[in-house]
């Protein structure tokens, strides 16, 4: 039996951790940074800390405590969702952070990954070349995101991706699919907010001929994604009626085409994304609470470029390399241009950066893209 140590933690955190106890795991709770006298921190398969133990200027104390844990993985419960905060605790020696509140299955996925022996839990290498080509990132914030993508890919729980417009939520969803057991089946993506409100139900579930004037029999998103992954972007854009029907699919695994009386089975993994405050919307009634909890089996925050500044230049260079390959030409950034790119705040995130590099590439008549070229297109 593997033993897990929880150091500190609110009553809710303790209750969540204790709910994981079974024939494989035993959870030991303590409020002190010193474990029971006859045991050392490194004797536990996994150690969980509540970051509040290190508040009030005691952040550096975390480093020496983590060193005492030896080879035991260290996970830290935090409430902040900023990548900068996560990066800080990782630099001090933690293996990973867990944003609380979270659901039982989410915590279970972390524990299964970190507490199990390698031969018991075989996972794909997220640092593999095929992933690096798609996901450019050298920052601590990127490392956190990659770990979360890897964890999400190891199960079929619904995932909610949170992040500003242009941060790369679609890419994160695609990577989760490509690393999962469903990778050989379809990945279907749809921006729900871009569909006319009266047509959303038909797009999701399909239609039967005669359902309304001009309707023809055709499959919806759920059928097209059968056996694979359905990525619904801007999930906050669906109306109350569609929310009810989507909830029913997630609960029962069944749906009906518009105008059809026969139910169909849905073997689909759901990933949703939003830049809207769904957490507050569920409290105000704008978004159904029960649906919110259904789509947040795992919640992943995708950082802005401002939170991963070390990645700006590598991403820009990657965009430029692709443009050169497509055009059959050779161009590079001047040192001054790279400084300008690195120092810009990029409110539009990766999407804005891609647009800027593309415009500068085509606007420049030289093999070297100058600072002036970047200023011109910003």
Judged against a pLDDT cut of 50, whether residue 149 lies above it is answered with: yes
100's tokens: 């609380």
Q: What is the pLDDT of residue 223?
A: 93
What is the C-alpha to C-alpha distance for residues 19 and 46, in angstroms, rounded to an integer?
16
339's tokens: 């400084």
3-state secondary structure of 175: helix
Q: Element (H or E) spanning 188, and its range?
A: strand 187-191
Read off the pLDDT of residues 252-280 as tens digits, 9 standing for 90 and up: 888 888 888 888 888 999 999 999 989 88
Taking CB atoms within 8 Å and a gap of at least 24, the contacts of 61-70 are 62/89, 62/92, 62/93, 62/94, 63/92, 63/93, 65/33, 65/41, 66/92, 66/93, 66/94, 67/93, 68/40, 68/41, 68/42, 69/41, 69/42, 70/40, 70/41, 70/42
Read off the pLDDT of residues 66-104 as tens digits, 9 standing for 90 and up: 888 888 888 888 775 544 566 677 778 888 878 777 777
333 or 209, higher pLDDT: 333
**At residue 261, what are phi and psi to the nearest 5 degrees?**
-100, -10
pLDDT band at 36; cut points 50, 70, 90: low
Q: Average pLDDT in the 366-373 region? A: 93
Judged against a pLDDT cut of 90, whether residue 1 lies above it is answered with: no
Read off the pLDDT of residues 40-67 as tens digits, 9 standing for 90 and up: 777 888 999 888 777 655 677 778 888 8
Which of 1-5, 44-48, 106-110, 367-371 is predicted least confidently?
106-110
pLDDT band at 323; cut points 50, 70, 90: very high
156's tokens: 């079929």
Q: What is the pLDDT of residue 187?
A: 96
Which of 37-46, 110-119, 365-374 is predicted least confidently?
110-119
| 2-120: CATH number | 3.40.50.2300
Q: What is the pLDDT of residue 58?
A: 65
pLDDT band at 305; cut points 50, 70, 90: very high
| 129-301: CATH number | 3.40.50.300
- ∠ CA 313-319-321 to the nearest 5 degrees? 100
Q: What is the pLDDT of residue 85?
A: 63
| 305-377: CATH number | 1.10.8.60
Q: What is the pLDDT of residue 131?
A: 47
178 or 112, higher pLDDT: 178
pLDDT band at 119; cut points 50, 70, 90: very low
Radius of gyration of the chain, Cα coordinates, nearest whole angstrom? 23
Judged against a pLDDT cut of 90, whether residue 153 lies above it is answered with: no
pLDDT band at 129; cut points 50, 70, 90: very low
The residues spanned by each domain of the chain are 2-120, 129-301, 305-377
- Alpha-carbon torsion 296, 31, 59, 70, what sign? negative
Mean pLDDT (the chain) is 84
Which of 149-153, 244-248, 355-359 is predicted least confidently?
149-153
Helices 335-343 and 312-327 cross at an angle (nearest 10°) of: 130
Q: Element (H or E) spanning 130, and its range?
A: helix 129-134
Q: Which residues, 6+ apart, have CB-to-CB distance to 358 below 8 Å?
A: 319, 323
Indicate if 305-377 has the same CATH topology as 129-301.
no
């Amino acid at each position: 039996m593997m033993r897990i140590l929880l150091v500190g933690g609110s009553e809710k955190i303790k209750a969540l951790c204790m709910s994981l106890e079974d024939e494989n795991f035993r959870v030991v709770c303590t409020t002190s940074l010193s474990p029971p006298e006859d045991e050392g921190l490194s004797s536990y398969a996994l150690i969980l800390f509540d970051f509040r133990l290190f508040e009030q200027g005691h952040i550096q104390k975390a480093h020496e405590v983590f060193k005492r844990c030896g080879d035991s993985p260290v996970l830290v419960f935090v409430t902040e969702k900023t990548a900068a905060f996560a990066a800080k605790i990782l630099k001090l020696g933690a293996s990973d952070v867990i944003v609380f509140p979270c659901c039982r299955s989410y915590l279970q996925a972390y524990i299964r990954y970190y507490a199990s022996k390698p031969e018991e839990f075989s996972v794909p290498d997220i640092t593999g070349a095929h992933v690096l080509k798609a996901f450019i990132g050298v920052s601590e914030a990127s490392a956190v995101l990659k770990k979360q993508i890897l964890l999400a890919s190891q199960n079929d729980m619904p995932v909610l991706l949170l992040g500003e417009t242009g941060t790369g939520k679609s890419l994160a969803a695609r990577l989760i699919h490509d690393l999962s057991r469903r990778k050989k089946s379809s990945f279907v993506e749809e921006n729900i907010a871009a569909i006319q409100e009266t047509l959303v139900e038909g797009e999701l579930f399909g239609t039967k001929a005669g359902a309304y004037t001009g309707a023809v029999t055709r499959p919806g998103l759920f059928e097209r994604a059968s056996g694979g992954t359905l990525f619904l972007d801007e999930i906050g854009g669906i109306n109350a009626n569609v929310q009810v029907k989507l909830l029913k699919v997630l609960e029962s695994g069944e749906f009906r085409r518009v105008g059809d009386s026969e139910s169909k089975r849905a073997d689909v993994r759901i990933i949703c994304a939003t830049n809207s405050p769904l957490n507050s919307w569920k409290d105000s009634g704008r978004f159904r609470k029960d649906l919110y909890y259904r789509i947040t089996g795992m919640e992943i925050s995708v950082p802005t470029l401002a939170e991963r500044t070390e990645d700006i230049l590598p991403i820009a260079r990657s965009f430029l390399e692709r443009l050169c390959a497509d055009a059959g030409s050779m161009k590079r950034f001047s040192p001054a241009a790279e400084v300008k790119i690195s120092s810009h705040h990029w409110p539009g995130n990766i999407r804005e950066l891609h647009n800027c590099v593309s415009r500068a590439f085509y606007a420049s008549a030289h093999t070297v893209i100058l600072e002036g070229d970047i200023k011109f297109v910003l």
